[in-house]
Amino acid sequence: MRYGIIGKNIAYSLSPKIHNYHFLALNINAVYEIIDLTLLKDYSGFNVTIPYKEKIIDYCDELSTEAKEVGAVNCVKVIEGKYFGYNTDTYGFYMLLKKNNLLIDKKKVLIIGAGGAAKAVYYVFNKYTNMQIFVTNRRSEKAYQITKYVILFSDITNILSTFDIVVNCTNVGVQKYESPITIQTIKESSCFIDLNYQKQNAFLDKARTLGAKTINGLEMLIYQAVKSFEIWFNREANIAAIKEILDKEGINDVNS
């Protein structure tokens, strides 16, 4: 059986290491790899990342209720040549919030970005909390597709200190050390989350120097992988095995 991930410029992805080690730990005869877009029909299932989480919807024969509501797909199960689309980013982000005691109310949230990942993050905050949720994006018209509560990108630096939680849902910072926004003043006891999981992270580093609690996207990566596996195989994942391979790779720093 063959599984994998589609995306653009994703050689850095940890997903192949995670899933292949997990398959081995569970004695599953399968392989997970970065996929050539022209060979999708050869796979039993695959994950989807930037920039295809929204585009892949047009190729799916059926969507889960959650994928429809989010408007993005990051997990596809292939059955007899048909694509069934799911969103496991929502579960991954929900578990990140839960494990960090952030499923709380009456807080003000800023989501940076308006792509598939941002849609999943907005969905989780909106469904499981009573927070005030705002979105900012370089192209405001795309942010308005998520919510009417949009903040102009040019205004962010001046009002950043009014937010309790700030979440980077863009891929800025993956290829080089840079932040999606300029961070100067932040709210005391605020929390900054970056869905990216690279150790060198300008966005989180700057927020940390100003006293913020910081969380990277490692837990979200783990739990979206868990949910993807369970969709593909209809069996429970071995979370301990997934965490073990990350420890072996020296990737276990989730927050600070």
Residues linked to residue 166 through DSSP beta bridges, in sequence order: 110, 192
Active-site residue identified among 17, 53, 142, 243: 53
Residues linked to residue 6 through DSSP beta bridges, in sequence order: 48
Task: Please give the Cα distance from 156 to 132 (Å, whole number).
Answer: 16
Classify 40 as helix, strand or coil.
Answer: helix
Task: Please give the Cα distance from 97 to 200 (Å, whole number).
Answer: 22
CA 225, 228, 230, 233 dihedral sign is negative
Q: Encode 82-109 in three state secondary structure.
A: EEEEECCHHHHHHHHHHHCCCCCCCCEE
Count how many residues are written for the chain.
Answer: 256
Residue 53: active-site member: yes
Cα torsion for 70, 40, 217, 67, to the nearest 10°?
10
Long-range CB pairs of 152-160, under 8 A, 24+ apart, other chains included: 153/181, 156/110, 156/112, 156/181, 156/182, 157/181, 157/182, 157/183, 157/184, 160/110, 160/184, 160/185, 160/186, 160/187
Task: Please give the positions annotated as active site.
Answer: 53
